[in-house]
Structure 1
């Protein structure tokens, strides 16, 4: 349960203001069909984060040792710093003209844009930390949906009302706390 809840909280906070959240707003405004956009986000996130959690779990299984746990802890601390940097949707990240409809366009765009994104890197680290593929992938997917479903339905109104700087600081503190926790836990072994 700890892996599920931590994964959900970390990604939900880290996703607010992220380029994939901005992409959700753009897609929702473009297609004006929220259900296919939400389903595209769900399927893309499940696939992307299951692969990321599996990768984290596999790497941790092969490299289990104090130095690797310290590297995972350092990764969380680096994520804390990265979270403080505001994200934007670059022109090359914006969805191209759709020829496949709202669902497939969203699925492909989200899967590609999420590659190397901070929430995917966090999912790899969470997979390494918790060694529970299902709980981590489910938690990070729930976190993505918590952040992105309101973005699809409420769009620009969210960006205007939510103090993104405060949310980034809270997410950074959460990553920092997990990183310190991994360091302390490893030192006490």
Structure 2
């Protein structure tokens, strides 16, 4: 099967979040999850957070709500569910999902992972959030020689070292730069191009 790359684009995520959800069981082995409505009464949900279905003595209903075009779920007392939209499926416990938000789409989260483990969801979210942090690179130079280079995460660094009259013309400098991907297109004035190899990870303090 041939994949048409013309319709594939990278996603420009601006933030990530963990959302607490209710898993909904459907016929067979299928399921889907819906984020929990902020109006959920915690005293109802907490005792059954790890349960599959409503056990004896729990006269509850699983309903669906809509807020700003998004679907949410709530567990409510059965006698308060009249007139509500029932979820097409059975209650399957509390789950979590990791979502990413794209620039310009604050109400359209993209689901990246789902799990029944809150710690796992939070760890995944924190790892993704770190990718949005700027790369911080420190280069130690002594008498014009690069001694050490460290960064807070993997990075590509290019030093453009001005050398005044000793530098060749701009065309030669640009030609050298064009050979170093992905730095093609930069047009430094009279500079020597020096690709830098990261020698260690930065510990988070300057």
Please give the range of the TM-score, normalised by the shorter of the 2 chains.
under 0.3
- Tell me which protein shows more strand as a share of its residues: 2
TM-score (structure 1 length as normaliser):
0.22
**Bigger RCO of structures 1 and 2 (CA < 8 A, at least 6 apart):** 1
- Tell me which protein shows more helix as a share of its residues: 1
- Structure whose alpha-carbon radius of gyration is higher: 2
